[in-house]
Amino acid sequence: MKSISPLVSVSTAKFPISNFTTTISCTISSLNFAAPPKKTSSKLAKTLSATPILDPITAPTATAASTSPKKVLVPIGFGTEEMEAVILADVLRRAGAEVTVASVEQQLEVQASGGTRLVADAFISACSAETFDLVALPGGMPGSARLRDCEILQKITSRQVEEKRLYGAICAAPAVTLLPWGLLKRKQTTCHPAFIDKIPSFRAVKTSTQVSGELTTSRGPGTSFEFAICLVEQLFGEPVAREIGELLLMNPADDDPKRQEFNEVGWSLDHTPQVLIPIANGSEEIEVVTLIDVLRRSKVNVVVASVEKSARVLASSGTKIVADKLISAISDSIYDLIILPGGTAGAERLHKSKVLKKLLKEQESAGRIFGAICSSPAVLQKQGLIKDKKTTAHPAVIDKLKDGVNDAQVVIDGKLITSQGLSTATQFALAIVTKLFGHARARSVAEGLVYQYPRS
């Protein structure tokens, strides 16, 4: 089949996806996303049980919003990979899909594989009679096994296959969940390298994302954006997929991410690093979850603290996250590193927290490490914490920074680290790991994520 899309090799212009008879490898190697627009005006589709806090920086423009909504199911269970689940839900919601995150457990709150606590929109039982345009399974262990053992989810997904509607799985889920259900027959499939030997050798492929008829599979957390964008193209078409890719700040695969460092100093510690990630209503969930996941994989002690009156926060695209503590409970604590996630509304709420302001001021005066991503570097500037420091931020807010570096995705200046946000969050987190522990550990974490470790 001849590809007509520079984004992924799935043609949606002439043929419905259910008519595909060939196996297609889905890649982002030819992406050439432009910088996202600085002003957007459209609204995200509402989820079934939560209204996202719309971010004027990262909300989709009219192209995506004008597309008729599609219904998507993203099931989660204990041990689900949080990056995969959250990136899937976030990206698909940006495209205009009506995404239901459904728990296969007997409770809505689910602790993911890296310790992040997520709250589902509904129980899987409430979805049994629904018709979905896409069922997308995140991976993780034992999350994939928990999905496999859910009879209701098996019936939903089997019906999806029988009726030739889209379904997908990432990481361990193709091998651990779909294979035992018999839903990989005559399908070429990829999955996490640790599970690829479970796939019959004549069907297993090592592409980062693979489309085979109605089935799309992918390798792991580090390929989650590619996986999600591939699904967006199949649901909404290439123009929407390209627009969402631009909003996510995705770069061509062959364009090595840019990291710049000024006034280099060592960050190594003689103890396990203690890291604080404050969150608020409107924080950007991709950044929050990526930071937590990557840093905990690196054996860092991460504390997630809510600046709200409740530990539960509603992130910018509708994901519900439960913090470990309230910020008031840690007002006298000392952290080696404090990192602010972005999201316009979330950053503003972080800025208003008196306790966090006090902690940041003490962090800077004591010469400890701190940083911010996306729109939050502007918070640091408002608080007078980045004077005469080189920084970067989301393209829509970088002009507000006195010494902003436009052509870098991650900027380190002494003990300050900043990043553009969204799809650069993994690189940002790995840069922190590199500074704390060195390249060897960062590369090892990247391999587990199935993420290409930056050369620079």
233 and 306 share a domain?
A: no
Residue 395 CA: distances (Å) to CA of 113, 133, 172, 310, 348:
32, 33, 35, 31, 17
Residue 68 pLDDT level (bands cut at 50, 70, 90) = low
Residue 336 CA: distances (Å) to CA of 114, 267, 326:
20, 9, 19
Alpha-carbon radius of gyration of the chain: 21
Among 46-60, 128-142, 321-335, 397-411, the minimum mean pLDDT is found in: 46-60
Burial class (CB in 10 A: 0-12, 13-18, 19+), 360: buried
Residue ending a domain, choose from 226, 247, 268: 247
Tally of domains within the chain: 2
Q: What is the pLDDT of residues 207-246, one digit of tens each?
A: 999 999 999 999 999 999 999 999 999 999 999 999 999 9
pLDDT, mean over the chain: 88
120 and 143 share a domain?
A: yes
307 and 331 share a domain?
A: yes
Q: Is residue 9 part of a domain?
A: no
For 183-205, give the secondary structure using H, E and C.
CCCCCCECCCCCCHHHCCCCCEC
234 and 283 share a domain?
A: no
DSSP state of 386: -
Range of the domain at 194: 17-247
Q: What is the pLDDT of residues 249-291, one digit of tens each?
A: 997 555 566 899 999 999 999 999 999 999 999 999 999 999 9
Residue ending a domain, choose from 197, 225, 247: 247
* CATH number of domain containing 99: 3.40.50.880
99 and 177 share a domain?
A: yes
Residue 49 pLDDT level (bands cut at 50, 70, 90) = very low
CB distance 59 to 45 below 8 Å: no
299 and 228 share a domain?
A: no
pTM above 0.75, yes or no: yes
CB distance 456 to 257 below 8 Å: yes
Number of H helices, E strands in the chain: 13, 20
Decide the pairing of beta strands 209-212 and 215-218. Answer: antiparallel
Instruction: Write b or e for each residue in 399-423: b if 16 or more Cβ atoms lie within 10 A of its Cβ, otherwise e.
Output: eebeebbeebbbbbbebbbbbbbbb
- Give the list of residues 6+ apart from residue 440 with CB closer than 8 angstroms, or none: none
Tell whether the model's pLDDT for residue 388 goes beyond 80: yes
Active site residues: 287, 374, 394
Residue 36 CA: distances (Å) to CA of 61, 69, 225, 277:
10, 22, 16, 26
CB distance 415 to 263 below 8 Å: no
| Phi, psi dihedrals of residue 160, rounded to the nearest 5° | -60, -45
The larger pLDDT score, comparing residue 286 to residue 1, is at 286
331 and 384 share a domain?
A: yes
Residue 261: closest CA among 416, 393, 441, 421: 416
pLDDT at 402: 87
Q: Is residue 252 part of a domain?
A: no
pLDDT > 70 in the chain, percent: 84
pLDDT at 222: 97
First-last CA distance in the chain: 37
Only one residue has tokens 């008519």, namely 19
- Neighbouring CB atoms inside 10 A of 272's CB total 11
pLDDT at 52: 64
